[in-house]
Structure 1
Amino acid sequence: MTSPAAAPARTRRPAWAGRNYTLLTAAAVVTSLGSNGALIASAFAVLDSGGDSSDVGLLAAARTLPLVLFLLVGGALADRLPRHRVMVAANTLNCVSQAAFAVLVLTGHPPLWQMMVLTALCGTGQAFFSPASEGMLLSTVQGEEAGRAFAFYRMAMQGAGIGGAALGGALIAAIGPGWVLAVDAAAFAVAGSLRAFLDVSHIAPRAPGGGMLADLRDGWREVTGRPWLWSIILQFAVVNAVIGAAEAVYGPLVARDSLGGAGPWGLSLAAFGAGTVIGALIMTRWKPRRLLLTGTLCVFPLALPSAALAVPVPFAALVCVMFFSGVLVETFGVSWMTALHQEIPEDKFSRVSAYDWLGSLAMLPLATALAGPAEQAFGRTASLWGCAGLVALLTAAVLCVPDVRNLRRRPPAERTAGDLAASGTAAVDTAAGVLAPERVPGAAPSPDAESSVGRLG
């Protein structure tokens, strides 16, 4: 018979790991397993159908263009409707579009336009999913251990991504990309089922107010009133664009020409994922006082993978570079989520997240579409060195913003007054004409691996 003292030990879990947090983490793990392999599979589906670098870039652009068009609408809806319903609807659309993509690839050599249409539908689902998901996660975690909770969430998601990328690359090499796309469709179905059980009763109903445009203006004021927020959004508008071009277009081509194909490229991406797991593990114990100064310094290594592909270095060296950059950049991902959780009011999480995502992805369709022509005009090596240089230059520029250097972690007791003060500052600064561009994998890598780039923020 089990003793009374032993029974609770089996079910004991941290106070911050409640039911919603557990469901969100489980769903993110499932989608990470499917989506990391599917990103590689879509590129090789184009190449197997006779496409070239320009075609791969167009497919990546088709995924991200709907994100740019619909993200703000998705953010406003997620702060107005139950967030879990928005997430489930988006997962359903992703499941159907990826399943159709898989069928087309498995039954023949589909034309590029069909693959682009289905990929665009998947991107549309992501536009509504991402702000709702990030808002749901931020509203679920409370208290002093928020940073640790975000780190565990990202560690679980990135850990699943290791297996997803490695298994996806191996399956593409063994049986082709179509089956990997089918696995991704099944993963969306499972994740949507888990998210259907999320509880939003803890989120107070919004009082009747203005329409969607008024909601978006409120979100805009939150962004423009905080220099640390809009400066990093601006930074990642370019950083994510060039990383996306290097990862989605140049990476598979370098792998095909110099590394041995899809398998080694999948393992390289898995090494980056392994690095982020180690980085998240470190962040479960480390609580840097200056959140964004520490995080931004750790963005510099994101220039290294593009530089390694430009050389190109041998496979073993590329794996080391990807692992190292993953370890350091995850510090930024956790710090960024902690800063948003600390500084942004709960009822505006999804709208601010939508502006964040919009900035992260606004230039990505253009960058991926131009990656092929840039290779033809300047050469692949020069294009990759340009990607690395832009990452380093813009990261250095962000360090010149005082709020990025000085924003500090605050105890929960200080945050209520701080949130009120920040909201007032946002209104005053916007009225004075403080307008700025916007910027996530996590990186994102987004809080979910369904992002095409793995948004970092």
Structure 2
Amino acid sequence: MAESSVGAPLWRDRQFVLLFCARVISVLGNGFARVALAFAVLALPGTGVGGRLSLVLACQAVPQLVFILAGGVIADRVSRSRLMALADGLGACAYTGLAAMVLTRHAPLPAMCLLAALAGTATALFSPAMDGLVPLVVPTHRLQQANGLLRMGTNSSLLLGLALSGVTVAVVGAGWALALNAASFVVSAMLTGRLRITARPRRSTSGWTDLREGWHEFASRQWLWAVVAQYTVVVAALNANVGVLGPLAAEQHMGGARAWSVIVTAQALGTIVGAGVAARVRVDRPVLVAVLCTFPAAVPIALLSAEAPVWLVAVAMFCAGITGDVFGVLWATTIQREVPERALSRVSSYDWFGSLALAPLGLLIAGPIAAAVGTSHALAGCAALVVLATTAALLAPQVRSLGAEAGVSSEAAPPCRRL
């Protein structure tokens, strides 16, 4: 494994190992849940299962967007590790309830939607806290390595979870697969709860004041809002491709699900390699390099539009997976270095909110657009959106010029702190 250029390996740091194990186990369970929840809903008796599945998934996705800003405010006011443990507990309750309903085959739609919304709310609380916790666990000079190792571990874990989920659902059923995900949340909460992070000082300001302060920290950095605006478009285009248009193209021109499985697996393998590369690479202008790493995401979409062979699209997706995770690690590390620690989770929540703002719309309109103009033309439009949005981000001077150490301060990246 990679070692820091200064000091002992991160694997000897108990705090980092606890955080790493918690994330890997939780994401492994989420890999099971992605497949198990869909097949659990589809297996329930009654008609209209397709619409029922869409409703349940929407109830899970919407709270992630609606409550993400509140999650950032809370994470900057309380202990981030304890908030993450609480969020894991909520996730465990949600998936335990879903598993029980599936196993007993008594699953009223309102109850499933309520539990799915609880799971989405848990994610909204967890994500900003996680982004703000890493600088409290590792010192500044190891942030990039830590982010790379965390992403490499979680990407590998998600790939394993997705690979095993189909077998698990087939052998023991979707209900028990959901129960395994609930158990993974419990283990993650126990590990996260053992982190020793200094308690945050009480804030006398209101939540609205904290939210406005977070917006000021976000909006005052051109490089930050420019890239988030870029990814508002990019994520919508990528969601449309992976969720709707890509499978349609595979069905129409490549032989169906097996071809699409090869393509998405290649991308997943690329993300693992990319995280490993990003843990080691050193660049002078990380935001510029991160934005440039977005361009390859348009290549496999364009190849799908051109009805290229499966192997060529898979190679392009593998490369896009590599560059996508290089972006992710450089981006997370830059935010953690440049943004004051006291506001880090709020800024992260604005990042999440902006990046995901149009993601549901991308999924919603992809099908009708493909039906109106054809799948190939719709894919070409998605590829063009990725290129245009990325080119526009490069017009921002701070995106091109921000240096790796430009804004590092003791406040932005404090040393590891213990109780």
Which range, TM-score by smaller chain? 0.7 to 0.9
- Matching of residue 395 in structure 1 with residue 390 in structure 2: yes
Greater shift in the superposed pair: 324-333 or 16-25: 16-25
AA partner of residue 272 (structure 1) = Q
Map of 1:96 onto structure 2: 93
Which residue number corresponds to residue 417 of structure 2?
A: none
- Distance change in 2, residues 1:103/1:266 (3 Å): farther
1:404-415 paired onto structure 2 within 5 Å: 404-410=399-405, 415=408
Of the structure 1 ranges 172-181 and 212-221, higher mean CA displacement relative to structure 2 is found in 172-181
Q: 1:51 to 1:176 in 2, by over 3 A?
A: farther
**Following TM superposition, by how much is the alpha carbon of 1:59 offset from its aligned partner in structure 2, in angstroms?**
4.3
Kindly state the Cα deviation for residue 415 of structure 1 after the two structures are TM-superposed: 2.4
The reply on whether 1:137 has 2:130 as its aligned counterpart is: no
CA contact (8 A) 1:155 1:276 kept: yes
Contact 2:11 2:17 in 1 (8 A): no
CA distance in 1, matches of 2:100, 2:132: 33
Equivalent residue, structure 2, for 1:437? none
Structure 1 pair 114–302 and aligned structure 2 pair: CA distance change class (3 A)? farther
Q: 2:239 aligns with which of 220, 238, 244?
A: 244
What do the CA deviations read for 1:289-324 (whole angstroms, capped 9, x no partner)? 110111111111222444455555555444323221
Secondary structure of 1:80's partner? coil
The answer for the alignment partner of 1:231 in structure 2 is 226
For 1:131 and 1:407, how far apart are their aligned partners in 2? 23
Q: What do the CA deviations read for 1:10-59 (whole angstroms, capped 9, x no partner)?
A: xx942686322211111111122121342244445555667687766554
Instruction: Give the 3 Å change call, closer, same or farther, for CA 172–207 of structure 1 in structure 2.
Output: closer
Q: Following the alignment from structure 2 to structure 1, what is the Cα–Cα distance between the partners of residues 238 and 170?
A: 24
Cα drift, residue 210 of structure 1:
1.1
Cα distance, 1:404 vs structure 2: 0.6
Q: Does 1:86 align with 2:83?
A: yes
CA contact 1:220–1:355 (8 Å) conserved in 2: yes
Check conservation: 2:72, 2:349, Cα contact below 8 A.
yes
Question: Out of 187, 194, 197, which is 2:194 matched to?
Answer: 197
Equivalent residues of 1:54, 1:371 under 8 A apart:
no
Between 239-248 and 184-193, the greater mean CA deviation after superposition = 239-248
63 and 341 in structure 1: CA distance in 2 versus 1, 3 angstrom threshold = same
The aligned amino acid for 1:403 is: Q
What residue number does 1:298 align with? 293
Q: Distance in 2 between matches of 1:51 and 1:305?
A: 34
1:285/1:317 Cα in 2 relative to 1: closer, same or farther (>3 Å)? same
Contact 1:41 1:178 in 2 (8 A): yes
Structure-1 residue corresponding to 2:25: 30
Q: Structure 2: which amino acid aligns with 1:383?
A: A
1:367 to 337, 341, 362: 362
Q: Is the 8 A contact 1:61 1:368 kept in 2?
A: no
Quick one: distance in 2 between partners of 1:417 and 1:189? 34
In structure 1, the gaps of 5 or more residues are 1-11, 421-457
Q: Tell me which amino acid in the other structure corresponds to 1:416.
A: S
Identity of aligned residues (%): 38
Q: Which residue pairs with 2:16 in the alignment?
A: 21
Counterparts of 2:329 and 2:296, CA distance in 1: 16
Q: Which moved more, 1:86-95 or 1:246-255?
A: 246-255
Call closer, same or farther: CA 1:179–1:15 in 2, change over 3 Å. Answer: closer
- Out of 329, 349, 352, the residue aligned to residue 354 of structure 1 is 349
Match of 1:128 in 2: 125
Question: Measured at CA, do residues 13 and 168 of structure 1 come closer, stay the same or move farther in structure 2, by a change above 3 Å?
Answer: farther
Mark the runs of 5 or more structure 2 residues left unpaired by the alignment. Answer: 1-6, 414-419
Aligned equivalents of 1:115 and 1:249: distance in 2? 24
Size of the alignment, in residue pairs? Answer: 404
> For residues 110-160 of structure 1, what are the alpha-carbon distances to aligned partners after superposition, in whole Å with 9 as ceiling and x for unaligned?
676654433222111101111111111132221323212211121111121
Deviation at 1:417, TM superposition (A): 8.2
Question: What's the RMSD between the two structures over aligned residues?
Answer: 3.1
Residue 233 of structure 1 and its aligned partner are, at CA, apart by: 1.1
Change over 3 Å in CA distance of 1:400–1:59 after alignment to 2: farther
Does the alignment pair 1:218 with 2:213? yes
Q: Structure 1 residues 383, 176: closer, same or farther in 2, change over 3 A?
A: farther
Kept in 1, the 8 Å contact 2:247–2:256? The answer is: no
Contact 1:57–1:368 (8 Å) recurs in 2: no
Q: Counterpart of 1:157 in 2: which secondary structure?
A: helix
The answer as to whether partners of 1:57 and 1:249 remain within 8 angstroms in 2 is no
What is the match of residue 69 of structure 2? 72
Alignment partner, residue 409 of structure 2: 416
Map of 1:151-300 to 2, 5 A cutoff? 151-172=148-169, 177-201=174-198, 205-206=200-201, 208-251=203-246, 260-261=256-257, 265=260, 268-300=263-295
How far apart are the structure 2 equivalents of 1:345 and 1:211?
19
Corresponding position of 1:447 = none
Normalising by the residue count of structure 1, what TM-score does the alignment of the two structures yield?
Answer: 0.78
TM-score by length of 2: 0.85
Residue 284 of structure 1 aligns with an amino acid whose one-letter code is A
Contact kept? 1:166, 1:267, Cα under 8 Å: no
SS in 2 for 1:415: coil
3-state SS of the aligned residue for 1:25? helix
Residue 138 of structure 1 aligns to which amino acid in structure 2?
P
Match of 1:63 in 2: 60
Would the aligned equivalents of 1:99 and 1:181 in 2 still touch at CA under 8 Å? yes
Q: Deviation per CA, 1:143-186, whole angstroms, max 9, x where unpaired? A: 32321221112111112122122222444566654443333222
The residue aligned with 2:323 is 328
Letter in 2 for 1:329: G
Distance 1:133 1:208 in 2: 20
- Matching residue of 2:416: none
Task: Indicate if the aligned counterparts of 2:91 and 2:119 stay in contact, CA closer than 8 A.
Answer: yes
Quickly say closer, same or farther: Cα 1:224–1:394, change in 2 above 3 A: same
Query: What's 2:4 paired with?
Result: none
Partner SS for 2:140: coil
